[in-house]
Structure 1
Amino acid sequence: MHLIKQQEVLLVLRGYYTKKELFTFFSSILGNTGHFEDFVMNNYRKVKSVKEFAGLYCTSERSFNRKFQNCFKESPYQWMQKKKAELIREKISESDTPFQEIAMDFDFNSQAHFTSYCKRLFGMTPSKLRTESKKVAPDLEY
């Protein structure tokens, strides 16, 4: 009998609320951090800001910040900046993509701004970073 009543309540709720609204309501109650972590890892490359990330998760920016902080132990902004740096380093090191294209992909206003960003974060220019990474891990031929 208990299961039937649960299903009845869910059917009534589905009649009045959209799936997004129900998801927002129940996710905040249940606090499924595993699902939240999966959501973050699957979507962080699709967004440019914390506000956009919160919107994609269908919650307020404040609630998103709180949930993110509890789950990852740092602010979403700091985490996104670290991930951006990792992706840039990976793109420079593991591809021959022109630096101008990488700069545009990551929304830098100019290649000069991109170069100064790399110097500040990695301690070297993009070209030096690419050269150094090829020295450390040269292509293996079979």
Structure 2
Amino acid sequence: MNDKNHIQFDNLLYSCVDKKQRANESFVQEHAFGYIISGESHFKTNEGMKVAGPGTIGLVRRNQLIKSDKVPPIGGGDFKAVNIFLDQAFLRRYSAENKLAPANNYQGDKIRILPPDPFIKGYFDSLLPYFDHPKMASSAMTELKSREAVELLLRLDPTFYDFLFDFSEPYKIDLEAYMNQHYMYNVPTARFATLTGRSLASFKRDFEKVFRTSPGQWLQQKRLAEAYYLISQKGRKPSDVYLDVGFENLSHFSYTFKKAFGVSPSLV
């Protein structure tokens, strides 16, 4: 991916934005190891908001739903960050090659903020020249950098072993509780199925038993009800609400809202 805001090759991503930007993807599919150079990242999960400022180095666990904003410095300048994604295929290969013992089921925090460490800071600094000179990058280099990242994380904190090498998939969990906590994330129904430990067919069947309606209808009604509450009771603007409750664009949100409530969201 190459645009004015992002440069990506293989599993490395450099971000640079000059105004607040909502991330397009709510689902973190693979472990993300990142460093914020300037500005802030605001991460919102069902457990609350986390704010990571300049100099923050963190590790975000795979298979979770997150809303995030990239926020440039208040005094001006760009938000800048670099990330490396540690995917399951690579980690399984690393585990096999190094004959690692099976990991325990990871039960810790899904977003880990690392303490200051000169070696990890130096590691991220070593990635930056490749974004200025992409011809110097190669698959062999990104593989080497992925291995270096794992070695540095395990040296820093042995508990990252279970974080990285727990390959278990989500098990079947309480569907009603999960959906009431995560309905505002704009992801496909198939993704909700995976995250609740079900096949798509099983998810739809269990969903209709619990909620007496289809996932699509329930999600729309739930999101609209929350939007109505935020606008009418909390004084929020429609333009500030639609993304937070899981709609993709303002025009579709406004049309759906008016169809449901008989009035434009701007007139509530």
Compute the TM-score of the two structures, normalised by the length of structure 2: 0.34
Please tell me whether residue 43 in structure 1 is matched to residue 182 in structure 2: yes
Q: 1:40 to 1:114 in 2, by over 3 A?
A: closer
Give distance in 2, aligned partners of 1:72 and 1:92.
25
Q: Which gives a bigger RCO, structure 1 or 2 (Cα 8 Å, sep 6+)?
A: 2
| Equivalent residues of 1:47, 1:53 under 8 A apart | no
Q: Which runs of 4+ in 1 moved over 6 A?
A: none
**Where do 5+ consecutive residues of structure 2 fail to align?**
1-103, 105-166
Give distance in 1, aligned partners of 2:218 and 2:240.
24
Residue in 2 that maps onto 1:53: 192
Cα shift readout 1:81-134 (whole Å, capped 9, x = no counterpart): 110111111111112222211234343423x443322221110111321xxxxx
Q: Name which of structure 1's ranges 35-44 and 80-89 shifts more when overlaid on structure 2.
A: 35-44
Give distance in 2, aligned partners of 1:114 and 1:80.
13
Cα shift readout 1:15-50 (whole Å, capped 9, x = no counterpart): xxx6547x34xx7xxxxxxx3322332332345332
**Where do 5+ consecutive residues of structure 1 fail to align?**
1-13, 28-34, 130-142
Relative to total residues, which structure has the larger strand share, 1 or 2?
Answer: 2
Residue in 2 that maps onto 1:88: 227
Q: Kindly report the root-mean-square deviation, in angstroms, between the aligned alpha carbons of the 2 structures.
A: 2.7
Identity %: 27
| Equivalent residues of 1:103, 1:114 under 8 A apart | yes
Give distance in 2, aligned partners of 1:100 and 1:50.
25
Give distance in 2, aligned partners of 1:101 and 1:73.
31
Aligned length: 103
Matches within 5 A, 1:125-140: 125-129=264-268
Give 1:107's match in structure 2, choosing from 237, 244, 247.
Answer: 247
